[in-house]
Amino acid sequence: MTDVERLFRTYNAALVRYLTRRLGDRDWAEEVAQETFVRALRQTSIQNERAWLFAVATNLVRDEARKDVRRRKHLALLAEQERESAVEPEETTLERAQEAAMARKAVDALAERDRLALLMREEGLDYNEIAEALELSPGSVGTTLSRARRRLVESYEALQKSREEREKNAAS
């Protein structure tokens, strides 16, 4: 197993999930993740793999970097293999679709740094990794995360409340 394959198998799922949550589009997320691993190939050494991958992926999204088509082919194959073994997500119900739409809105309402820190934390990155990926001081990650979580939950609950009121009005 090459080094990039190991990196891919170790981090792809989390990276794609992170990017999907960030972008709202799984295909786009997979593309960016693949591009991230392509970039990793060019590195001679990476100190903190996870922090580096998340940082590069985040920057790729930001910069809309060009893709290395040739190398991505191999990674796309790997991605396909992984997708086949992955459990299919549940059927989307109307309720779930509405929840997803509200979650999307609430996430988009966050400041970019808060959002990224939270999404990285959800993928298991520790405070140092988040700090490294986002070029923050490690001491500010706790504050960033606490703010991000509070705001996310509060705006989601606000959306939920207004939806319930809409439904109530519609019913009456």
Partner 1 sequence: MQHLDEGTIHSWLDGALNAEEAARVEAHVKECAQCQAAVAEARGFIAASSRILTALDNAPRGVIPAAVPKRRLDPMVWRIAASVLVVALGSVLVIRERGIGEKIYTTTESPDTVSASAPPVTVLSNQKPAAAPQSANAGSGKREAGSVGQNRSQAAAVATTPTRVAAPSPASVGGGNTAPRQDLNKAAAVPQVTAQNAPGRFEAAAAGRGSAVPSMDAMADEQPVRVVGRPRALGEKLTLYEVAPGDTVMLAEQVEMELQSVVVTGAGVSLQGATAAAAPEAKRAAKLAPTQDTQRSAQAQAPAPPAVSVSFAQTPDGTATLTWRDSASGKVMRLSGHHTRAELEEIRRRIERARTAAADSVKKDR
Residues that bind partner 1 (CB under 8 A): 17, 20-21, 23-29, 31, 89-92, 94, 96-97, 99-100, 102-104, 106-107, 118-119, 121-122, 126-127, 140-150, 152-153, 156
Task: Provide the 8-state DSSP code for 47.
Answer: S
Task: Provide the 8-state DSSP code for 64.
Answer: T
Sequence-separated contacts (24+) of 146-150 with Cβ below 8 Å: 147/114, 148/110, 148/111, 148/114, 148/115, 148/117, 148/118, 149/118
Min CB(65)–partner 1 separation in Å: 16
Min CB(29)–partner 1 separation in Å: 7
C-alpha closest to that of 104 among 83, 87, 119: 119
Min CB(100)–partner 1 separation in Å: 5
Min CB(2)–partner 1 separation in Å: 26
Closer Cβ to partner 1, 1 or 91, answer by number: 91
Amino acid identity of residue 21, one-letter, is R
Closer Cβ to partner 1, 28 or 59, answer by number: 28
Beta strands in the chain, from DSSP E residues, in sequence order: none
Closer Cβ to partner 1, 27 or 63, answer by number: 27
Q: Two tokens at 3?
A: 């080094």
Closer Cβ to partner 1, 77 or 97, answer by number: 97
